[in-house]
Structure 1
Amino acid sequence: MTDAAVDNEPAANVVVGRSLWGDAWARLKANRAAMFSLFYLGLIALVCIAGPWFVPHDYTTIYSDYVRTPPSTEAYPRADMVKGALDDVLKRMRVDLKDWKLEDGRATITVAGTRPIDERYLRYVDRSDTFDDARMEAKSPDGLEMTFSAAVKQQYFLFGTDNVGRDLLSRTLVAGRISLAIGLLAGVVAVTIGVVYGATAGFLGGKVDEVMMRIVDVLYSLPFIFFVIMLVVFFGRNFVLMFLAVGAVLWLDMARIVRGQALSIRRHEYVQAAEALGVRQSGILKRHVIPNLLGPVVIYMTLLVPHVIILESFLSFLGLGVQEPMTSWGVLISVGAHNIGSANWMLLFPAFFLVSTLFALNFVGDGLRDALDPKDR
């Protein structure tokens, strides 16, 4: 064996190590529940963001002919519903029904009145949620009898409609946008404030730490609901207020968690070496303390988002959250709870989306906790 072969043999057996994040990702991929939850969360987010653009109904459109319509994969109206919608139209036209028939998706109606019937009355037919394209077919010489035809609109309500006749599918998807956005934005606000505040308090220590943590204790004593009501009184009810109010309160837990981790990190040798080299405290915080806190912060973030969604749902249930015509899963569940006896689908669909999302977020949080735990490596 030549010297070159001897020199090259150790290089061929060099083992390349993996970083903490690479090892954590490999461990996370081995967790089937966490990976399925990640895929499900991505699917829910994609459906809620892009879904309303493909749903045929707008979330604010009211269909007065389809109030509390049960969910179905078949097109509405049913045969028995056409007659009821026709009676409502003829009442507005102030005429009497003489005869009608339905063929090939088009209704032919013969009506009679005590006074000559004006053709412009057909606009009442076009304004209906059931009929469209009304056309006069025949009219008696005295004008007291008229025959007209109208196309029957085909409407699909896969999730049914709510108590005022709005499509529940489009409202559930738009509500998902709001709930997920509030959860993520409030989580980012809480984590950002908590990490900076807690890392500063834990790293500086001494009197600075005492003063900063006593401020946290004072804020802990303020009732959350009272704080939100006070913000609503001063700034009104809007979407931005929701995540600011929730995020401005939930950072307290994050600050305490980060402070405890920072107290432990400041005693490590690499921090002491940086101090000995003359690195400023702000530089140590940015380069050493905060980056080493990312593991617990990422885990807490995944567990904080479902907490925020539940809080938003609770506030919306009390009437302190987002207001009509905007909606959220909490608002839909609140309305569905009041109509569970007569229209249980109004509660079941938004509740399923909310509960399944919360389960997925918790599974992801548990998976990240196991993947980033250095004791299990």
Structure 2
Amino acid sequence: MNLYDRFERAFMPNYGVPPVALARGEGTLVWDVDGKEYLDFIGGIAVTSLGHAHPALVAAVSAQVATLAHTSNLFLHEPEVLLAERLLALLGGPGRVFLANSGTEANEAALKLVIKHGKTTGRGYVVAAEMGFHGRTLGALSLTGKPSIRDQFGPFPTDVRFVPYGDAGALDKAVDENCAGIFLEPTQGEAGVVPPPDGYFAAAREIATRTGALLVADEIQSAIGRTGHWFAHQADGVLPDILTLAKGLGGGLPIGAVVGFGEAGTLFAKGEHGSTFGGNPVSCAAALAVLDNVDLAHVREVAQRLRDGLEAIEHPLLKGVRGRGLWLAAVLTEDRAAQVQAAAQQAGFLVNAVQPDAVRLAPPLVVTPAEIDALTAALPAILTEAHHG
């Protein structure tokens, strides 16, 4: 029985059976169990910031797991303090940090902060964006504006009102002095790497400040250099009240973080939230290695090369390119993203059909110009195969 059959027999069917079984990786390359080589242009969904088996990440994790692998939240350890201090220094704002295990858990913690803010100030509802994605646990799912994955698990305990993403006027109308918080992604990831119009996040900041709502920036996918800035909101020149992080922060190790600025950083009282594995020493060591080794200048250089290469392609199936930094979507003229993903796999590239008409590209931040060129050179033939195959 092969590995695919064993997976199907052992696991719940929520993922189906993934099309590739990976055995190992090095840098931006991965190999499947049959020895076939692929260029990884999805990076574990914007997670493997330093690529696979990066020496600094391997060394940091190996040293930490051999020293102290777990403490729980009953005790503190230096790697978690170093990580919190490092994040606050990169953010440049007075804040406090909570460490979790994942993006969903980070958003759950952020929602609890917003709910507490609402209870202490007499506010009763939350605003989020249509097609936004904040996670799959019940709290995070209540914020997620995708009916296809949300509706069958309701009703939800939190009153969440959805507005079109990028429409500052609609956001202004939806938020008043009874709103506890606004949850937004600086660019919507699962919706198809959809950036907002210029000025949208600044408008959201102004609306939140004027009404007293807390502005939550969900940067689970967009942070840690992915857009060419440490945090995507920095490009907009605004500071949220609460920031959520995960994915690329650990470089492949599970970690999430919540940063509360100003009063939002001290809303939780002792015992009001926690996580047994959150702030695990090994994951913190991995995150510190990531922050030490991400090269923003390199990210900006190769991101521009990728965008330029994609925009230079003329093909009837390719409508355009959108996104920021090394987080782009090739937008199609037809709903053939699944076929593009399959054709790319056959050609030795791993990409993601994030929407029926959008293919997500989020390679490791260490991707080289030559690897960028390899993808853009191969893409016309991949598109043709997907178009006619």
Which structure has greater strand proportion?
2
Structure with the bigger percentage of helix: 1
Greater radius of gyration (CA)? 1
TM-score band (shorter)?
A: under 0.3
Give the TM-score taking structure 2 as reference length.
0.24
